[in-house]
A and B are shown apart, each in its own frame.
Chain A
Amino acid sequence: MGVVKLDAYVLIVRGKDALKLINGLSTNKVEASCSTVFTTNAAKIIDMASVIVTDDCIALVGHNPYKEDLLAHISQKILNQDITIGDATASNNVYLSTTEITPPGSVTISHTFRGWLMVAPTSVEITTNMSQSEFDDYRVENMIPMQGFEITPKNHPLACGLGHLVHESKGCYLGQEVLARMRSRGKQGKELVRLPNPVENATTVGKKNSLVIQRVKNN
């Protein structure tokens, strides 16, 4: 497989309350580097972000078109905590490798469910060698949802294949009541499935199969 460049933002969050704030506003138990989903009260997705915890800061890497909505959401919730946010999007490029590679030292690499996420300063060249259709096919075959395709503000995390990022026992977070109710009652409404082509209303079309979000049968 290979490496693709993502349309991603890089937010640098600092302060002693940073991890606690991210944990309280998202679905996964955020204690170290991980992926998590920021949701509204109604459990609709604001964005899925990779949280990369380094020695002196936390980087939030998400989908660039969703950045402003996420920032507006987080900003409202910062009351008197010790938190600052910097926007390092312009000075970094974000890549995803489908296989483990060793990038130059100034590149931060984090293993996520989508592959190896790399945040590289713009001065560092990383060669991309995967076309969009190859990446789509990789996602279809591995059931990997992506922002703008499956991960959208219209969906909740359980509907678009992000159930593994919804922690079952972490306690309260925004959207938790809705997601917990769906799980406990076994009624999540929709789910992400892979079907052989041709697929009506496909969210991502692959060579042989496609991804689609459809109503759960017997739900």
Chain B
Amino acid sequence: MDCNTCDTAPAVVINKPDVVDVDLTITEKAKEMLSSAFGDDMSHSLLVGVLSGGCSGYMYDLQIVESTDQDCQVVEIDGFKVLVPNATSHLLDGIEIDYIDRLMGGGFKINNPNASSSCGCGESFS
């Protein structure tokens, strides 16, 4: 392989999906859990992202952050700031953020109308 030819190899155009204005909801249980996670400091935000990978192709990525360098849109619900990266907005429009309280497999859960299937553990979707 001639690396000179590789440098001039025509780039494959990767179609970036359109940015969608995300509409999302948070269940009462999830709000309770977010309140206890944030405490009194409501300056933090919940970052809801998507990474490629997992058994079904995409994985949710939830983080509580002070700020992010990702290009995000901010959705504010009852004082909670939710950050959604524009690059993954098409996968997250219409989601419901829920909290499942159980010993195994408990925690925040995303109910996503855009997902055609999800893996057994619920962390990845397609």
Does chain A bind chain B? yes
Whether the Cβ atoms of B117 and A88 lie closer than 8 Å is: no
A97-135 residues at the B interface, CB under 8 angstroms:
106-108, 119-124
Whether the Cβ atoms of A41 and B126 lie closer than 8 Å is: yes
Q: What is the interface of chain A mostly: helix, strand, loop, or mixed?
A: mixed
Q: Which residues of B lie under 8 Å from residue A123 when comparing CB positions?
A: 2
Whether the Cβ atoms of A80 and B5 lie closer than 8 Å is: no
Whether the Cβ atoms of B52 and A25 lie closer than 8 Å is: yes
Partner of A75, one of B10, B14, B53, B58: B14
Query: Which of the four size classes fits the interface of chain A?
Result: 35 or more
Complex CA gap A77/B17 in Å reads: 11
Given A79-B88, A174-B55, A177-B119, do A52 and B1 touch, yes or no (CB 8 Å)?
yes
B1-60 residues at the A interface, CB under 8 angstroms:
1-3, 5-6, 8-12, 14-15, 50-59
Whether the Cβ atoms of B52 and A24 lie closer than 8 Å is: yes
Contact digits for B74-112, partner A, Cβ 8 Å, 1 yes 0 no: 000000000001011000000000000000000000000
Given A12-B9, A24-B52, do A75 and B15 touch, yes or no (CB 8 Å)?
yes
Q: Which residues of B lie under 8 Å from residue A84 when comparing CB positions?
A: 11
> In angstroms, how far is the closest chain B Cβ from the Cβ of A171?
9
Partner of A108, one of B1, B14, B54, B85: B1
Complex CA gap A75/B10 in Å reads: 15
Whether the Cβ atoms of B5 and A91 lie closer than 8 Å is: yes
Complex CA gap A121/B58 in Å reads: 36
Complex CA gap A87/B7 in Å reads: 10
Q: Which residues of B lie under 8 Å from residue A143 when comparing CB positions?
A: none
Given A75-B12, A75-B14, do A21 and B52 touch, yes or no (CB 8 Å)?
yes
Complex CA gap A106/B6 in Å reads: 12
**Is B70 an interface residue, CB under 8 A from the partner?**
yes
Q: Which of A53-61, A190-198, A205-213 contacts B (4 or more CB under 8 A)?
A: A53-61
Complex CA gap A20/B59 in Å reads: 14
A62-77 residues at the B interface, CB under 8 angstroms:
71, 75-77
A154-176 residues at the B interface, CB under 8 angstroms:
172-176
A to B CB contacts below 8 Å, 14 in the list: A25-B57, A71-B12, A76-B57, A77-B52, A77-B58, A79-B52, A85-B11, A86-B10, A92-B2, A121-B1, A121-B2, A121-B5, A173-B55, A176-B55
* Chain A contacts to B: CB under 8 angstroms: 10-12, 20-21, 24-25, 41, 52, 54, 56-57, 59, 71, 75-81, 84-88, 91-92, 106-108, 119-124, 172-177
- Known: A87-B11, A120-B1; 18 extra A-B contacts, CB below 8 A, are A12-B6, A20-B53, A56-B3, A57-B6, A59-B6, A78-B52, A79-B51, A79-B88, A84-B11, A85-B14, A86-B12, A88-B1, A91-B2, A91-B9, A121-B2, A174-B56, A174-B57, A174-B126
